[in-house]
Each structure stands twice: as structure tokens, then as C-alpha cells.
Amino acid sequence: MLKTNACSALICLVSSLLGSSVLAHDLAWQGFVAQGLISAPDSGFVNNDGGLSAELTEVGLNGRYSLSPSWHLAGQLVYLNGGNRYPTGARLDYLFLDWAFYNSDAWQANLYLGRVKNQHWLYSSTRDVPFTRPSIVLPQSVYFDGFRDVAVGSDGMALQLRHSADHGDLTFNWSLGTVPISSRQSRLLLGHNTTGSTDLTRDHKASLYWQPQLSAFSVGLVLQDAAFTYTPAATELISAADFQVQRVMLNMRYQGEHWELASELQQERLQTNGFFSPQFARQQLGQGGYLLAQYRVSPAWRWFSWLDYMVLEKDDRWGRAFSAQTGGAVPAYFAYQHTLASGVSVDLTARIRLQAEIHWNRGTARLTPVIQPDVLTNRREYWQLYAMQLMYRF
Amino acid sequence: MRWLLLLCLCWHLTLSATTVLVHPEVPLDSISQSQLRNIFTLRQTQWPNGTAVRVIVLPEQSELHQRFSRQRLKLFPYQLNTIWDKHSFSGTGVRPQQAESMAAMLQLLRSTPGAIGYAEANLPHPALKELRVEN
């Protein structure tokens, strides 16, 4: 309902604005094409046979149309193929009306209506744009690919307030909306054999960032509250379910001339009611985070490395209780995932970049599906990932 | 000898300094460093009279762009690029227009209402307004 209302309101507003003769017109557009090779032997991260794959395609085209200095319409179409990481295909990444309802030297305020991007995490708003992210595959503790379509944005509204003063720059983001979840996405999250439908009924986020004046440091706090429902198909033995996810995240960034450091630490409460049986109830308090270091060797060459850590339950960090609950059917290493990644990128021209990286992983908690883990494909606690990608922007 | 050194230093500073130039109709004579940074990082997108700000820059590898970024904005060029990418690929802004040369920069500043850019401090800039930057 919220989605329908938001889209109707957006269409009405755009129609009325386009009809106005006092508005200046200005269209800017750009895009990117990226193709890579990726391999994650001994895991189902990319594909079920773990072989070398070309399922690392990202194509995007976006535009921003200025209706007036205060009103803008922005949209992006993307085509993604990441194998098992997220559903393959084209999607409308964002399409929103941007109203800059206050804009001065000290204060700026924007309201966004439509399909808006997640502006709350350090790399969330451009996680599909290869040139803008530090690694081809982002730290999965925060940027879990199986959750990509749900976390990348929402249909609804968002607000951004910015203030500059002697104490520095403050940015407040708030968003409320919902996300359509495809059957493929639902199976990725819940289990290969599920045939029911998953709905995200609420996605509510807020974040506050502070950068002291002219400082190389910035810090942020992010809060998220999301609720899902699962409605089983008539033929399924699975019960109807409600899931609630609440996340608190702290992040920080340092940007020096050569060194750039970034970290996002999060704690996430996942409440599950139903699914395995009508009476089933479970609460997990997961923790995770990463520390990323980048070194710009020259304007063209960059090296990076990050350390990523996550556990599904902070009181069961090695998954012993988790595995015991399944009678040992699900190995303990499905309750955690720790990764060390390292790689390099080189700008061959102003428009072309080549990037390569290796990830050493222990644990499989961020391999899809999550609720009913694939224990047949993901048979190794230790596994590696190799990726190389060529990117072009225009 | 001391005077000569001082003279050389002043000459060097004059040569290496950058100045902020705007379209003659921009309704400002001076600008704070914080405001300048807000404009080049796409936070402030309108002038006080409500007209749109149009940022013009030289290519990232340009020595003048790098000097302007470091001296005036206190940002490394890669930080500016990161900010512009984040805005332009998430729909909340548009990358500044790029002028391929200083002559093209001056031409764009003259022909684009609301435009703001930069130049060497000693470069003649007829038909353009120079903004005083206050700390």
C-alpha cells in the first residue's frame, strides 16, 4: 500500500512539475559496464560447482533531470549477474523525486520520494557501482550479498538534513519504506525449496554522521528496524512466520593523503516467530564488523585489505549450540564467517579500471540461503574467493 | 639578501595561489572556506537568490585542480572524486562539469549562469567575478 501510494504521489508531482512553464530543464546522465571472473571453490558463494565463473557482471545507466533548482528527478537501471549472490537480471535501482526544500550555506535539507537508495552505510548507496566501492565483493558482515535487494534501498520516502558550523559537518538521514521481494530473493534468504512469499512490511532507518571541521576523520551511528512476513504456499509444510531485524551500527572513516581507513561495526537482533513450526520462537543477537585499509600508491594504483568478522549469536561465537539445536545436521561453522581480503586496483585510463582480489574465509554464515543452510554445497569451513573485474564508465 | 628571499617567496606564493571565479551574476562578493567546500562537495546547490550552483572543474590530473583542492578545499582530489561519485551514482547530485583546459574553464564560467570555478590568481579573467575567500 505504501509503495502504491508513494508511486502515485510521485507521478502526480512529476506531472504537475513538468507542466509548469517556469522550470528550467537540465538532464545529466552516465553509466558503467563491468565484467569479471570469479571463483569460490568449495563453496556455493557464486555457483554450486565452485568453478571459475563469468557471473560477475554489472551494468548501470542513470540520469538526473533538473526541473528547477529545487526539484530533481533521478533514476538508475542496473543489470546484475552475481550467480548465487543475488537474483540475476535487470532492475530499477532507484527512481525518486528530490525536493531540496532548504538550501543555504549552513543548512541543507532534501526530501526524497519514490524508490530511494540506502544512504545510511558508508558504501550502501553505490554498492553496485564498481568504481565507488573498495573491493569487488564487500565485507559480508555488513554488505551481505544475499540481502542486497532488501538493503540497497526502499520504496517510500527519505529525508536528509545537513548542517555546517564551527563544530564541523553534521548529516542526518532518515528513511521509511518497504521493498518488493521476488520469489528468487525469498529462496536465497530462506531456503532453496521454499515456495511461499516473503514480504518486507517495514524498513525504517536513521543515521547521523559527524565530521569535525576540516578533519580527516568522520564518525556515524546507524539504526535500523525491519519486519518481514513469510506466507507459505498451500503445499508447504513450513509455517507462516514473522521476522524482525533490528540493527545498530557504528562507523568511522579516516581519509589521509595515501592511507584511508574505514570500519563499520554492527549488532543485529533477529527475532524469528514461526517458520519451522507455528510455535517456534528464536532470538539471535549477532555481531560483526570490518576494518578496511586502503593505500594509494599513486593516483592510479591502490592496494586494499580488510578484515571482516561476524557471528550469528554473540553468546555462541563458534556455533556449538547452534549446531546442537539441529542435532548436528548443520555444522557449527554456519554460525560464523571471518574473512581476510586483499587486492589491488589500477586505473588504466580515466574511464577504465582493473581490480583483482583474494579472500580467505573461515565459516559460511554469509552463504545463502540463511534460514535453511545449504549443507551439501558448503562443505568446507575454510574456503577462498578469487575475483578480477574490468570496469568502464561513461 | 633577506629581502631578495622574501621577494622570491612572495612571487612564488602569488604564482601558486588560486582564485575563485564565478559568473558575473552570482550574487556574492565573498565566500567562507566552509561554504566553498560545501559547494564543491555538492552540499550547497543554490545561491542565496535561489539560482542553481554550477560547479566547473579541471580534469583530476590537472596540477591546478590538485592545488585548488588541497589549498582551498582542504581535500585530496580523490576525496572530491569519491564524493562526486557517491552523489552522481545514487541520484542525489550531478558531477561537476569538466573543462578540458583553462581557456575552456573561463569560457564556461562566462557562459553558464550560476557557474563557479577557479584559476591561477594572476590570470586575467575579463567578464568574470572573483570571489574573496574568508576563513
Which of residues A234 and A305 earns the better pLDDT score? A305
Q: Which strands form B115-120's sheet, in the order they lie side by side? A: B30-32, B129-134, B18-22, B115-120, B54-57, B97-98
Does B60 touch chain A if contact means CB atoms closer than 8 Å?
yes
Cβ neighbours of residue A368 closer than 8 Å, sequence gap 6 or more: A44, A84, A85, A145, A146, A188, A189, A374
Q: Mean per-residue pLDDT for A73-90? A: 95
Reported confidence tier of residue B5, pLDDT bands at 50, 70, 90? low
Q: Give the count of alpha carbons within 13 A of B107, CB side only.
A: 7
| Mutate which: B90, B100, B133, vs A, most A CBs within 10 A | B90
Cβ neighbours of residue A373 closer than 8 Å, sequence gap 6 or more: A330, A334, A364, A367
> Does residue B7 have a pLDDT over 60?
no
Cβ neighbours of residue A81 closer than 8 Å, sequence gap 6 or more: A55, A56, A57, A58, A88, A89
Query: Which pLDDT score is estimated for A13?
Result: 47
**Closest chain B residue to A68, measured at CA:** B52
Considering the domain delimited by B18-134, tell me its CATH architecture.
3-Layer(aba) Sandwich (3.40)
Query: Which pLDDT score is estimated for B6?
Result: 54
Minimum-distance CB partner of A125 among B46, B52, B86: B86
What pLDDT, in 10s, does the model give residues A372-384? 899 999 999 999 9
Domain A2-393 superfamily per CATH: Porin (2.40.160.10)
CB-CB under 8 Å, B90 with A125: yes
Minimal C-alpha gap between B56 and chain A (Å): 14
Does A129 touch chain B if contact means CB atoms closer than 8 Å?
yes
What pLDDT, in 10s, does the model give residues B26-83? 999 999 999 999 999 999 999 999 999 999 999 999 999 999 999 999 999 999 999 9
Q: Which residues of B touch A173 (CB under 8 A)?
A: none
Cβ neighbours of residue A17 closer than 8 Å, sequence gap 6 or more: A23, A67, A68, A71
The answer to whether the beta carbons of residues B109 and B21 sit under 8 Å apart is yes
Rounded Cα distance, A29 and A141, in Å: 33
Q: Three-state DSSP class for A279?
A: coil
Interface of B with A in 96-135 (CB under 8 A): none
CB-CB under 8 Å, A94 with B91: yes
Which cell is A317 given?
A: 561465537
> Does residue A3 have a pLDDT over 60?
no
Minimal C-alpha gap between A389 and chain B (Å): 19
Cβ neighbours of residue A347 closer than 8 Å, sequence gap 6 or more: A299, A300, A301, A353
Q: Which residues of B touch A218 (CB under 8 A)?
A: none
Query: In this structure, what is the dihedral angle of CA atoms A315, A318, A321, A323, given to the nearest 10 degrees?
Result: 150
> Does residue A1 have a pLDDT over 50?
no
> Does residue A23 have a pLDDT over 80?
no
Which cell is A104 given?
A: 543555504
Cβ neighbours of residue A62 closer than 8 Å, sequence gap 6 or more: A29, A30, A31, A74, A75, A76, A77, A93, B88, B89, B91
Q: How many residues does chain B have?
A: 135
Query: Which pLDDT score is estimated for A344?
Result: 98
Query: Which pLDDT score is estimated for A190?
Result: 85
Is there a cis peptide before residue A369, judged by omega within 30 degrees of 0? Answer: yes
Q: Mean per-residue pLDDT for A120-126? A: 96
> Does residue A95 have a pLDDT over 70?
yes
Which of residues A167 and A358 earns the better pLDDT score? A358
CB-CB under 8 Å, B52 with A69: yes
Query: Which pLDDT score is estimated for A21?
Result: 36
What pLDDT, in 10s, does the model give residues A284-321? 999 999 999 999 999 999 999 999 999 999 999 999 99
Query: In this structure, what is the dihedral angle of CA atoms A105, A109, A115, A120, given to the nearest 10 degrees?
Result: 80
Neighbouring-strand partners of residue B18:
B120
Which cell is B93 given?
A: 547530485
Q: What percent of chain A has pLDDT over 70?
A: 94
Reported confidence tier of residue A147, pLDDT bands at 50, 70, 90? confident
Q: What is the mean pLDDT of chain A?
A: 91
**Closest chain B residue to A74, measured at CA:** B91
Reported confidence tier of residue B14, pLDDT bands at 50, 70, 90? very low
- Burial of residue A364 (number of CB atoms within 10 Å: 0-12, 13-18, 19+): buried
Rounded Cα distance, B81 and B122, in Å: 27
Rounded Cα distance, A309 and A322, in Å: 18
Query: Which pLDDT score is estimated for A306?
Result: 98
To which H or E segment does residue B15 belong? helix B2-16
Query: Which pLDDT score is estimated for A384?
Result: 97
Q: Which residues of A touch B48 (CB under 8 A)?
A: 104
> Does residue A5 have a pLDDT over 70?
no
Reported confidence tier of residue B15, pLDDT bands at 50, 70, 90? very low
Query: Which pLDDT score is estimated for A53?
Result: 96
CB-CB under 8 Å, A108 with B90: no
Q: Mean per-residue pLDDT for A66-95? A: 95
Q: Which residues of B touch A211 (CB under 8 A)?
A: none
Of the candidates A169, A168, A228, A231, which has an alpha carbon nearest to the alpha carbon of residue A197? A231
Interface of A with B in 313-352 (CB under 8 A): 350
> Does residue A338 have a pLDDT over 50?
yes
Geometric angle at alpha carbon A107, from A106 and A108, rounded to 5°: 135
Q: Which residues of A touch B86 (CB under 8 A)?
A: 125-126, 132
The answer to whether the beta carbons of residues A34 and A389 sit under 8 Å apart is yes
| Interface size between A and B, measured as CB pairs under 8 A | 94
> Does residue A183 have a pLDDT over 90?
no
Minimal C-alpha gap between B73 and chain A (Å): 9
Query: Which pLDDT score is estimated for B4?
Result: 57
Does B35 touch chain A if contact means CB atoms closer than 8 Å?
yes
**Closest chain A residue to B49, measured at CA:** A104
